[in-house]
Amino acid sequence: MNKPTILTGLRANNDLTIGNYLGAMVPMIEMATTQSTQYQINMFVPDLHSFTTPIDYSKLKEQTLHNLKLFIASGLPLDNPNIHIYRQSYIPAHSELTWILDCFTGFGEMSRMTQFKDKSSKINEDRISVGLFNYPVLMAVDILLYDALLVPVGDDQTQHLEFARDIAQRLNTMFTKDSPDPLFTIPLPVSKQHEFFGKGQGLRIMDLQDPTKKMSKSDEIGKGVIFLGDTPEQATKKIMSATTDSIGLIKYDRTSQPGITNLIDIYALLSHIPVEQAIDQWENQTSYGDLKKATAQAVSDFLTTLQANLMAVDAQTVLTKLEESEALMNKIANDKL
């Protein structure tokens, strides 16, 4: 356990989409596999974070295990001793240290968090939970309990990472100012995180009905979203009804032809060819229908393979890996606590 730690979260709830798969899951699995020789890889399920906004709590445990199985079906190795998967709620130190750090965190600091402002503006004031307000403190604890140096973060969470650095430095200064062994390891700043992981891994897959916005699992209708649990037939129907344009000539142009561009991105990524090769193959052709059919076939083949792999994942093997990792993480977290 002397290796530096990379920490990242695996989504606990909601159906995952091909956008999640291509934009997050694949880069995350590749990172974990390639970096595990030099780093300890902590991949945790942030199920406590799921409580910050209303969800169907009865499905949380089932969805957590299902999403873990999807990562394994997508290539995450369970037999790698340097890759650990664990549930946040199974490590009580996360909750305990959050309370301690809450007492050293300013109300103003949390009030200025952009993500809190955005999310709370969409919720009735009486339903805005304290958990949503102090979410960044729990996120800081997720990182600091394990001395994680490297944490891949999106643009919407850069403030949270900077807060984790601030609170770590604050407590180090207050309690171990002159000690060679500070309380907390301070994670690298955002610029260094982007330098290590690359900024914006994976292409953004857009909604099939509104290709100006990102494909989102929160889409209530779901016509523009391909879920990893969709049947190949359902996915094909969604691709064939995807919004394009009236230009009549295929060009890879996100501004003037976002729908066509999105289809080319999906086709290239799921056909395992460079986007440039797909552009050469399709640009200047006039049949949108042929592009849709080819993309639908690539998506159909992908879903067929993924879902077969998912069926082959043994639930008990996943639980065994979770229990082994959670026993180890409890020891590390309790030592820090």
Catalytic amino acids?
Answer: 119, 214, 217
Angle at CA of residue 173, ends 167 and 175, nearest 5°: 100
Count of other CB atoms within 10 angstroms of residue 63: 20
Helices 135-144 and 93-102, axial angle in degrees (round to 10): 120
What would the two tokens of residue 327 be? Answer: 């026993």
Tell me the three state secondary structure of residue 104: coil
Name every residue whose Cβ is closer than 8 Å to that of residue 179 and which is 6 or more positions away in sequence.
none
Helices (H), the chain: 18-20, 26-35, 60-73, 93-102, 107-111, 114-120, 130-133, 135-144, 158-175, 190-197, 232-240, 258-271, 275-282, 288-312, 315-336
Tell me the three state secondary structure of residue 43: strand
